[in-house]
Structure 1
Amino acid sequence: MFFIRLFICLILLSSAFTAQSAVILQYHHVSDKTPPSTSISPQLFDQHLEHIEQQGFSVWPLPKLVQHLQQGSTIPDKVVSITFDDAYESVYRSAFPALKKRNMPFTIFVATQAIKKNNQLFMTWDQLKEVTQFGATIANHTHTHLHLVRKQEGETNEDWRARLREDILRAEKIIDQNIPNTSKLLAYPYGEYTQEVQSLSQELGYVSFGQQSGAVGNAHDLTALPRFPMTNRFGAMKQFKLKLASLPLHASKVIPNQKIVRQPSISKGLRFEFDRKYAGISCFFEGDAVSIKQEENSIIVQQELTLPVGRSRINCTAPSSEKGRYYWYSHAWIRPKANGEWYKE
């Protein structure tokens, strides 16, 4: 009898862990004719939606998911939210019909300067208004799609914060003028942020999103929620199925906690502290396995990590008690050129 009760308790505990999480997907272009680094084909995108349906996932509007995270409310298992950055015209032409057919809500993060210029690569305000009638949320992606972490030459910290604030609030004003009563959601351009950027986001009342991969849970910081970037490369069906089924792995502390790294490497000894010990955890950097040592609820990287110029990340995963489901954590770095100058996109 004791073992039966223990087994039931373990099952309930496992359900409790999985019922406090969701996955947020991030797309840019849905096209075969746009840059591969930010594109997914319409055919593969449709396969994503078919799999979401077939596996019984609930597609939640992003504001609903955020509200549950803010309130610490229970999130049922198998919840996903769908987002698009930049409001490219291919989202309207290719993604919107597929989502509309399935009654799936979604969010478009809009960099308002491009829309204002009537650039043919982007959706129009009329199109953005139209999609809101079919479950879309329009949210802030700044006005000029600037690199939030980059200071201009000679710019003081106060001037930099003021410039960021003005850009974010300008986008907010333009969105509100065209589509009133939108949610206070912000996607960081290029997924780049620092603690100072997070602080400004919070000060302005935003819940904000990066492009570091991983599922979201109640323990996550609402100024830097993870999303899984989806492209032909990173959204291939085998990978997509794993990512869609993933569970949150939250690092309560990273030592040293750097986002911008000016030296060419991260020294041996990088430490991630989690909420508990995760058996079988493994980490990968730029596609290669990383040597780690586990100490209680922490892992310590046992090798130097050579950072390329640009953005890079380390991903850590651990198997859960459910077959085919993994806890997933990602930490991103940004490295300028050796001379201190910023690279071009």
Structure 2
Amino acid sequence: MLRSVLLTLMFLMSISAHAVVILQYHHVSEDTPSVTSVTPTQFRQQMAYLSDNGFKVKPLSEIVNGIKQGVEFADKTVAITFDDGYQNIADNAHPILKEYGFPYAIFIAVEPIERKYRDVMSWDTLNRLSDEGVELANHSWGHEHLIRHNPNETEKVWLKRIEDNLLSTEAKIVAKTGQNLKMLAYPYGEYNSQLEALLESHGFIGFGQQSGAAGKYSSLTALPRFPVAGVYAELSSLQAKLYSLNMPVLAIEPANTQLAVGNWRPEMKVTLDMSDIYPHQLMCFVQGQGAVKPLWISESQFSVRAALDLPPGRSRYNCTAPSKATGRYYWFSQAWVRPKNDGTWIQE
């Protein structure tokens, strides 16, 4: 009996091993677009919830190193990130985070800082935060759509341009702040297989904007983060995500998130470790189209496909399944990005 209980406890502990929830914010303000914002009141409620409910907020670099090394993180481990480096983060978010003693990271683009955009932090402000332990990382030189080619640009020329962009950004961050984390948050959450290979060749870690818990089953060139803003800004929306588990994805195809022209209903095939998942409880959702029941190809592989064409721009397939042991949900999201029918991109 005792042996059975111990084995059960060991199994329950292994369910949460390696699972980390990474939160992604942009603005903490009442005066910015709601689609990319939480209010200071909402942000304080969220940080209080983390503190009151035993969450362990860790530096992003520690999370990355832990995933690389196969560290078994404590249950309910969280990292906090901000994209773009807006001044309201220093004004509104930093004091709250400092009060709770929570570390965090900011992904910054260089050009807005160099051009002294009114709503973006200066190097002086960023260095002040850096001195207080804030991590500063790469968000490209000018917050470009990195996957897009210039007119008549070959694949080779495009890739060299993006390589120069990312390395120049990293060098500037090093020169201005002394930080050299080699972590990139893809602007707009857009990436493809070529970009992932480029990051890997230079020893960079990549972060997307697709949802899901991160861990040993995640790609180090496309770590998931839960966006917190707009309709997802309320604490009630965030709570379930904070308890999510790293979906045990063993393989996925196609791996490339950038869709070829005409392939507007991509079929995604996923192979899972099914030891803690009942196949009949797994459900997928196509952004803008609702729930889609997966088609099981084998005991461990399923496929899912949109019923309608995905629209130009960014889309997601999300899949969730409750843990047999805990009832908490495994959560996985695959990002897609597609051009218009003529191969050009929508303007943003």
TM-score range, shorter chain: over 0.9
Residue segments in structure 2 that go unaligned for 5+ positions in a row: none
Match of 1:217, SS state, is coil
2:264 maps to 1:265: yes
Letter of the 1:286 counterpart: Q
Q: Is the 8 A contact 1:247 1:326 kept in 2?
A: yes
Letter of the 1:265 counterpart: W
2:309 maps to 1:310: no
2:171 maps to 1:169: no
Distance of 1:5 and 1:331 partners within structure 2: 40
* 1:151 alignment counterpart: 149
Q: Is the 8 A contact 1:242 1:324 kept in 2?
A: no
* 2:293 alignment counterpart: 291
Match of 1:26, SS state, is strand
Give runs of aligned pairs for residues 67-106 of structure 1, distance below 5 A: 67-106=65-104
Could you tell me how far 1:14 is from its partner in structure 2?
A: 1.7
Return the match for 2:7 from 3, 6, 9.
9
105-114 or 170-179, which moves further after superposition? 170-179
Distance of 1:58 and 1:46 partners within structure 2: 16
Match of 2:231, SS state, is coil
* 1:326 alignment counterpart: 329
Distance of 1:212 and 1:303 partners within structure 2: 17
Distance of 1:154 and 1:23 partners within structure 2: 41
Change over 3 Å in CA distance of 1:312–1:302 after alignment to 2: closer
Distance of 1:182 and 1:270 partners within structure 2: 36
Distance of 1:302 and 1:344 partners within structure 2: 27
Could you tell me how far 1:132 is from its partner in structure 2?
A: 1.6
Distance of 1:153 and 1:341 partners within structure 2: 10
Residue segments in structure 1 that go unaligned for 5+ positions in a row: none
Q: CA RMSD in A?
A: 1.7
291-300 or 59-68, which moves further after superposition? 291-300
Could you tell me how far 1:200 is from its partner in structure 2?
A: 0.5
Aligned residues: 342
Give runs of aligned pairs for residues 199-214 of structure 1, distance below 5 A: 199-214=197-212
Could you tell me how far 1:302 is from its partner in structure 2?
A: 6.3
Distance of 2:106 and 2:179 partners within structure 1: 15
* 1:116 alignment counterpart: 114
Distance of 1:54 and 1:228 partners within structure 2: 20
Percent identity, aligned pairs only, is 38
Match of 1:266, SS state, is coil
Distance of 1:276 and 1:303 partners within structure 2: 24
Match of 2:230, SS state, is coil
Could you tell me how far 1:202 is from its partner in structure 2?
A: 1.1
Could you tell me how far 1:35 is from its partner in structure 2?
A: 1.9
Match of 1:242, SS state, is helix
Distance of 1:66 and 1:16 partners within structure 2: 19
Q: Is the 8 A contact 1:253 1:274 kept in 2?
A: yes
Letter of the 2:96 counterpart: A
279-288 or 140-149, which moves further after superposition? 279-288
Letter of the 2:284 counterpart: C
Change over 3 Å in CA distance of 1:184–1:264 after alignment to 2: closer
Q: Is the 8 A contact 1:291 1:302 kept in 2?
A: no
Query: 4+ runs of 1 displaced by more than 6 Å?
Result: none
- Give TM-score, length-normalised by structure 2: 0.93
Letter of the 1:70 counterpart: K
Match of 1:152, SS state, is coil
Match of 1:186, SS state, is strand
Distance of 1:177 and 1:303 partners within structure 2: 46
Distance of 1:113 and 1:297 partners within structure 2: 46
Q: Is the 8 A contact 1:201 1:207 kept in 2?
A: yes
Letter of the 1:189 counterpart: P
- Give TM-score, length-normalised by structure 1: 0.94
Distance of 1:158 and 1:116 partners within structure 2: 28
Distance of 1:302 and 1:27 partners within structure 2: 30
